[in-house]
Amino acid sequence: MRSKLISAALLATVPGLVSAPAFAGDTSAPPTSPTTTGISLHILTLSIALKLGIDLTAEPYLNLGSNACGSLQVKKTSTCDLTAPAGCLTGCDPQNFATAAYNECHPTCTAAASASCTSACTSGCKSTCLADCNFDPVIACETGCNDACAATCADMEASGGAFDAVECAIACDTTCMKACADVAAVSNIDNCGVQCSESCGSECVADANMACEIGCQTESLHAETSGCKTSCYASGTLSCDGKPAPALTDVMQCVELLKSFGVAVNSK
C-alpha cells in the first residue's frame, strides 16, 4: 500500500500524467491521458532498444537512392578515401606532356610572331663578341629567353585565373630549350657573329611568341594532367570509414554522388 501511495504521489508531480490527485486508500488506477500513453510507449521503446543493444541516438545511414554506390553504407559524417593504383599518378607528371604541348602550340604561335628586334639584338651581340672572346651565344639565348618567360609567368600569376607555377615553369623550360637548340647546332662555333645571329633570331621569335606559347602550353598541360589523374582514380579503389567499398561499376560516379550528400572524399 505504501509503495502505491509513493508511486501515485510521484506521478501527481508530473504535469499531464494524471488528471486528479491520488488519495490514501484509493485503489483505483489513475486515469490515463495521451501524454501518459506517449511516455509509456517511449519507455517501452527504450527498454526494447537496451535489451537488443540498439543505439537510438546513432546517426542513420544515408539513403543514397542510386545504384552508383551499390550496397555501400555511409553516414553524413563518414570519411572516404579514393586511392589510385600504385604508380599511376607518377605518369601524370606534366613534364611527360611538355613536348607534345609545345609541338601543338608552337606552329600556331609562330605564325603570328614578329622578330622585329633581331637586327638590334644582333648588333649588340656582335659588339659583345668582339669585346669578350668567352661570350657564349647559346647561354645568352637561354638566359634572355628564360628571363622573358619568367616575366610572362609572373604576369599570368598576377592576372589570376587557373595559374599553375609548376606547369608554367615546365612550359618555359621546353620553349627556351627548343628556341635556342638551333644556336647550339651551328657548326662553326668559332664564328661568334654567326652564333649571335642564330641566338638573336631564336630569342626574339621566342619573345614575340612568349605569351601565346606559355598560355597555350600551360592550358594543354593542365588538361592533360587533370585527365590523366581522373583516369587513374577511375580505376582506383574506394573505402569509407576504413572499410573497403563493395565492387563498383563506376567509381567516379559514386564519388560524385557521395560529395553531393556532403560526404568527405579524399583523393590519395
CB neighbours of 199 closer than 8 A, spacing ≥ 6? 121, 125, 137, 138, 140, 141, 180, 183
**At 230, is the secondary structure helix, strand, or coil?**
helix
**Residue predicted with more confidence, 193 or 42:** 193
CATH number, residue 240: 3.30.720
The pTM of this model reads 0.64
- At 64 the pLDDT is 79
* Same structural domain, 222 and 250: no
Containing structural domain, residue 67: 59-84+236-268
Same domain, 223 and 268: no
Domain shared by 149 and 243, yes or no: no
Whole-number pLDDT of residue 268: 86
Task: Give Cα 261 to chain centroid, integer Å.
Answer: 18
- Do 69 and 180 lie in one domain? The reply is no
**Nine-digit cell string for 250:** 563506376
| Same domain for 66 and 35 | no
| Mean pLDDT (the chain, rounded) | 77
User: Does the pLDDT value for residue 92 go beyond 90?
Assistant: yes
Strand 79-83 to strand 237-240: parallel, antiparallel, or no bridges (unpaired)?
A: antiparallel
Q: Select, from the ranges 29-43, 53-67, 94-108, 183-197, the one with the highest average predicted confidence (pLDDT).
A: 94-108
Q: What's the Cα-to-Cα distance from 153 to each of 150, 160, 209, rounded to whole Å?
A: 5, 11, 13
Q: Both 112 and 190 in a single domain?
A: yes
Q: Show Cβ contacts of residue 133 under 8 Å, excluding neighbours closer than 6 positions.
A: 192
Q: Are residues 119 and 147 in the same domain?
A: yes
Q: What confidence score (pLDDT) does residue 140 get?
A: 78
Quote the pLDDT of residue 207: 80
Q: Are residues 114 and 201 in the same domain?
A: yes
| Closest residue by Cα to residue 114 from 232, 212, 237, 15 | 212
Pairwise CA distance, residues 173 & 192, whole Å? 25
93-127 per-position pLDDT tens digit? 999 999 999 999 998 888 766 656 666 677 777 77
Return the higher-pLDDT residue of 46 and 237: 237
Please report the pLDDT score of residue 29 as a whole number: 52
Q: In terms of domains, do 203 and 157 share one? A: yes
How many separate domains does the chain show? 3
Query: Of 26-30, 66-70, 226-230, 253-257, where does mean pLDDT reach its minimum?
Result: 26-30
171: which 3 cell numbers?
Answer: 612550359
Kindly state the cell numbers that stand for 185.
Answer: 647546332
pLDDT for 210-237, tens place per residue?
889 999 999 999 999 999 999 999 999 9
Buried b (16+ CB within 10 A) or exposed e, 164-184: beebbbbbbbbbbbbbbeebb
Q: Are residues 103 and 197 in the same domain?
A: yes
Looking at residue 80, what DSSP letter applies?
Answer: E
Task: State the Cα–Cα distance between residues 266 and 268, nearest whole angstrom.
Answer: 6
Looking at the structure, tell me whether residues 250 and 223 fall in a common domain. Answer: no
User: Could you tell me if 168 and 185 lie in one domain?
Assistant: yes
